[in-house]
């Protein structure tokens, strides 16, 4: 192998310490102290690896290896450095640190490439603090939604206020765009069981699912929990439970569609008070956007019926739409050749999870390498990939970067 498996693993474990809890889980939310510590650690590692490092206006940490042709479009590689609440050590960070390892190996081997390579530690992919994800990659792709900067955390602090407090300049988010770009290549853990069940080390992503994120608010009528008989209540919690069961059933009717309620807030939220309102999230995804729309259309009718029966009002607000992304066929073929050459067991598979790469849809060709997740655990502390699988992934990424960036022999 060309890459250094131990160095990659040691870095993974080191970054996994930042924001870690005694139970082994990690929380690194955007613009928190832990996020800043991870950024500073990354700057140090990228600089030591020989990259030209800068942090852009929104907090993407970027290491550049200049290509021989200053006019040639750039090759982007990397992944995110934030985590979900109580997440694991591999989601995002494995991809980012594999990119760093691959490019450091290119530097150490004194190889020359035609295209400049950007190793990117993307800012806030998970969106767990502000309920708005992919901020860093959307800024780099030049498709940031300015209203995302106004999204608030649970304390009412907006993303742009938090960024300013962390020393960034969110008003300059348009300066983050990197252009022109030749292609993007991201490595990530699979986060499901397909590779593990089939005994395969790596995957080649066919494409990334489409995602719609909504906030649903149901308003009813508050009152005393003991004094009001069951008949005649306008309880939004009861309406919500029916709504959730219905969306679960409707999503299950589609081939690829998955619907998840991840956050719920009841107001006023006291045990002896019938709630006035409930607000919850709906994360709905599919490989086919038509499936999502078909499911939501059926929900419109069901919702109307629930509103009438419970005397409540249901409002559904779109928070974010992340378009799916087919991966590039020639790049997939090149990955396949590299994996075959290295005798690494692999297969092609779809990604139900979202990734920074999907923001380059329509901007440049994208490819993704998946690394087997043991037992499929992800977004939880049990997330794990073996050192051998991680090393396989980084080696393939290294060879792929040399191919894409045009190694000069």
Q: What angle do CA 127, 180, 337 make, to 5 degrees?
A: 80
**What does the alpha-carbon distance between residue 223 and residue 276 come to, in Å, rounded to a whole number?**
8
Q: How far is the CB of 184 from ligand GLV (least distance, A)?
A: 16
Which C-beta is closer to ligand GLV: that of 235 or that of 383?
383
* Segments of 287-372 assigned E as strands: 313-322, 325-326, 346-351, 366-371
Which C-beta is closer to ligand GLV: that of 78 or that of 354?
354
Using CB under 5 A as the binding rule, the residues of this chain from 72 to 101 that contact Mn ion are: 91-92
Contact between 276 and Mn ion by CB under 5 A: the answer reads no
Residue 211 three-state SS:
strand
Which C-beta is closer to ligand GLV: that of 126 or that of 235?
126
How many residues touch Mn ion (CB under 5 A)? 2
* Partner in contact with 354, chosen from Mn ion, ligand GLV, none, beta carbon below 5 to 8 Å by kind: ligand GLV
- Nearest residue relative to ligand GLV (C-beta): 354
- Which position has the token pair 């860093």? 136
- Which position has the token pair 């005393």? 224
Q: Dihedral sign, CA of 146, 281, 18, 369? A: negative
* Partner in contact with 131, chosen from Mn ion, ligand GLV, none, beta carbon below 5 to 8 Å by kind: none
Q: How far is the CB of 130 from ligand GLV (least distance, A)?
A: 14
Give the number of C-alpha atoms closer than 13 A to the C-alpha of residue 22, restricted to the C-beta side.
0
Q: How far is the CB of 190 from Mn ion (least distance, A)?
A: 11
**What does the alpha-carbon distance between residue 354 and residue 356 come to, in Å, rounded to a whole number?**
7
Q: How far is the CB of 107 from Mn ion (least distance, A)?
A: 26
Which C-beta is closer to ligand GLV: that of 105 or that of 137?
137
Quote the DSSP letter at residue 114.
S
Residues found near ligand GLV in the complex (CB under 6 A): 126, 353-354
Backbone angles phi, psi at 309, to 5 degrees: -65, -35
Q: How far is CA 137 from CA 207, 270, 345, in A?
A: 17, 40, 30
Q: How far is the CB of 125 from Mn ion (least distance, A)?
A: 6
Q: How far is the CB of 281 from ligand GLV (least distance, A)?
A: 11
**What does the alpha-carbon distance between residue 15 and residue 12 come to, in Å, rounded to a whole number?**
5
Which C-beta is closer to ligand GLV: that of 104 or that of 378?
378
Q: Which residues bind Mn ion (CB under 5 A)?
A: 91-92
């Amino acid at each position: 192998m060309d890459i250094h498996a131990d160095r990659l693993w040691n870095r993974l474990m080191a970054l996994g310490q930042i924001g870690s809890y005694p139970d082994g889980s990690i929380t690194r939310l955007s613009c928190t102290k832990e996020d800043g510590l991870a950024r500073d650690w990354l700057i140090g590692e990228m600089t030591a690896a020989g990259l030209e490092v800068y942090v852009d206006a929104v907090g993407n940490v970027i290491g550049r290896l200049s290509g021989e042709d200053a006019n040639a479009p750039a090759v982007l590689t990397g992944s995110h450095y934030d985590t979900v609440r109580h997440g694991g050590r591999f989601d995002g960070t494995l991809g980012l640190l594999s990119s760093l390892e691959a490019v450091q190996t290119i530097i150490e081997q004194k190889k020359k490439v035609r295209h400049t390579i950007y190793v990117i530690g993307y800012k806030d992919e998970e969106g767990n603090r502000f309920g708005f994800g992919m901020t860093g990659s959307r800024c780099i792709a030049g498709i940031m939604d300015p209203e995302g900067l106004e999204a608030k955390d649970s304390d009412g602090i907006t993303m742009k206020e938090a960024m300013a407090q962390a020393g960034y300049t969110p008003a300059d988010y348009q300066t983050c765009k990197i252009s022109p770009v030749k292609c993007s290549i991201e490595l990530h853990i699979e986060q499901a069981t397909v590779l593990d069940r089939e005994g395969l080390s790596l995957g080649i992503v066919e494409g990334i699912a489409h995602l719609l994120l909504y906030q649903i608010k149901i308003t009813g009528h508050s009152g005393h929990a003991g004094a009001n008989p069951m008949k005649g209540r306008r309880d939004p919690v009861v309406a919500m439970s029916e709504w959730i069961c219905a969306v679960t059933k409707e999503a299950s009717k589609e081939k690829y569609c998955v619907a998840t309620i991840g956050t719920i807030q009841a107001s006023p939220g006291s045990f002896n008070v019938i709630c006035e309102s409930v607000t919850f999230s709906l994360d709905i995804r599919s490989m086919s956007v038509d499936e999502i729309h078909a499911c939501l259309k059926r929900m419109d009718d069901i919702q109307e019926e629930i509103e009438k029966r419970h005397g409540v009002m249901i409002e559904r607000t779109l928070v974010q739409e992340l378009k799916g992304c087919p991966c590039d066929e020639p790049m997939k073929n090149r990955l396949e050749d590299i994996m075959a050459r290295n005798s690494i067991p692999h297969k092609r598979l779809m990604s139900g999870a979202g990734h920074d790469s999907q923001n380059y849809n329509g901007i440049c060709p994208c490819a993704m390498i998946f690394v087997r997740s043991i037992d499929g655990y992800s977004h939880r502390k049990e997330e794990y990939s073996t050192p051998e699988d991680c090393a396989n992934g980084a080696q393939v990424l290294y060879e792929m970067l040399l191919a894409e960036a045009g190694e000069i022999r």
